[in-house]
Amino acid sequence: MFQRPPSFFEIWRAHTRIREYLAPTPLRKSLALSEQFGAAVFLKLENWQPTGSFKVRGAFNLLTQLTPAEIARGLVAASAGNHGAAVGYAAQQLQISNVHIFVPGATPHAKIQKMERFGVHVHAAGETYDDAHHAAVEYERARDATFVHAYDDVRTVAGAGTMALEILNVTQDLDALLVPVGGGGMIAGIAVAVKHVAPDLRVIGIQPDASPSLRDSLRDNVCYEEYTAAPTICDGLAGGIGQIVFQVAQQKLLDDVLIVSERAVHQAVAAFARDEQMVVEGSGAVGLAALLENPAMFRGKRVALVVSGANVDAGRLAEILGI
């Protein structure tokens, strides 16, 4: 089914709709990172969301617009973990039951536990996000369930875009905003909002070199909705992109895409723990990884990093920290 990007008005409406359920997250200047990089570095702390991830924005915006008939059919989604927890939490708060989430077999245990805590039924399917997505689509067709897309639904994207309104409400005096990119729903919503309010603010997508699906889609002028990713700590960013972010990119609302190494992501996760006393998952740390690998690009600039999630297994974190 064809999907379109949200309008700025739809993002503003999403902002008014979800603030009943979600408080704004802080935009905090990092003294340590600012000193290290010779820049003013700000952190948009989406890892402080109730589910530990930005995904809860899109989930609330979508679920609050469902009809009683759509709710009655039950909900189904595919997720690498964070979207599933977000749908589960939003459903719990809205008193919606019968939620089924399909996840790849290698989904971190911490993310599965969080989903189950919110009362969803978790089903492991295959090894990749694409495998889980296919299984969820089959479930949707077999049960006539209501599909809740993680990144390629205008309602999900509009919800994610509300983050940009919060950032711009604090400051519009930024040079660049670094945004993690998996399926691309977050950066699509952010780009629409930012370019409407502050068109000179550079919106830069960050992907791990294990899964540069947006970069390759733009290079080849083909929307790679499925993409074979190499093993990566950035499980939430592995796989293809959605139609919506591809359209947003073609509209020239994205300024750049940077690719970061696994080594830099590991270093960024450790730096967040060491210097900020903050737990950040690999997918949420790619903005800092981009600073580590491109310091000259941002020296003297005012830069905000979207810290998109905190959901990392304790064992993986201990391994990265060498403890």
132 lies in the same domain as 189: no
Answer yes or no: do 90 and 129 share one domain. yes
135: CATH: 3.40.50.1100
Annotation says 308 is catalytic: yes
**Per-residue pLDDT tens over the stretch 268-284:** 999 999 999 999 999 99
* Burial bucket for residue 69 (CB in 10 Å: 0-12, 13-18, 19+): exposed
Tens of pLDDT, residue by residue over 45-95, are 999 999 999 999 999 999 999 999 999 999 999 998 899 999 999 999 999
Q: Are 236 and 84 in contact (CB under 8 A)?
A: no
What digits encode the pLDDT tens for the residues 89-129?
A: 999 999 999 999 999 988 888 888 889 999 999 999 998 88
Verify that 40 and 73 share a domain, yes or no. no
Alpha-helical regions (H) of 210-282: 213-220, 243-250, 262-276
Do 166 and 266 lie in one domain? The reply is: yes
Residue 1 in this model has a pLDDT that exceeds 70:
no
Same domain, 120 and 198: no
Give how many domains the chain has, as a whole number: 2
86's CB contacts (< 8 A; 6+ apart) are: 51, 53, 55, 56, 57, 58, 59
CB count within 10 Å of CB 115 equals 26
Angle at CA of residue 185, ends 99 and 80, nearest 5°: 45
Res 93: pLDDT: 97
Q: What is the arithmetic mean of pLDDT over 205-210?
A: 98
Residues 311 and 205 placed together within one structural domain of the fold? yes
Domain that holds residue 192: 8-53+161-321
**Residue 104 vs residues 84, 259, 283: alpha-carbon distances, Å:** 12, 24, 16
pLDDT at 11 over 90: yes
Paired tokens of 272? 């967040």
Distances (CA, A) of 288 to 45, 308, 313: 13, 12, 20
Q: How are beta strands 40-45 and 27-29 bridged, if at all?
A: antiparallel
Q: What does R_g of the chain's alpha carbons equal in angstroms?
A: 18
User: Phi/psi of residue 81, each to 5°?
Assistant: 140, -55
Domain-ending residue, one of 147, 180, 210: 147
pLDDT tens digits for range 159-200: 999 999 999 999 989 999 999 999 999 999 999 999 999 999
How far is Cα 21 from Cα 177, in angstroms, rounded to an integer? Answer: 25
Pair 143, 214 in one domain: no
My answer on whether 123 and 248 are in the same domain is no
Of the residues 44, 55, 111, 195, which is catalytic? 55
pLDDT value at position 289? 98
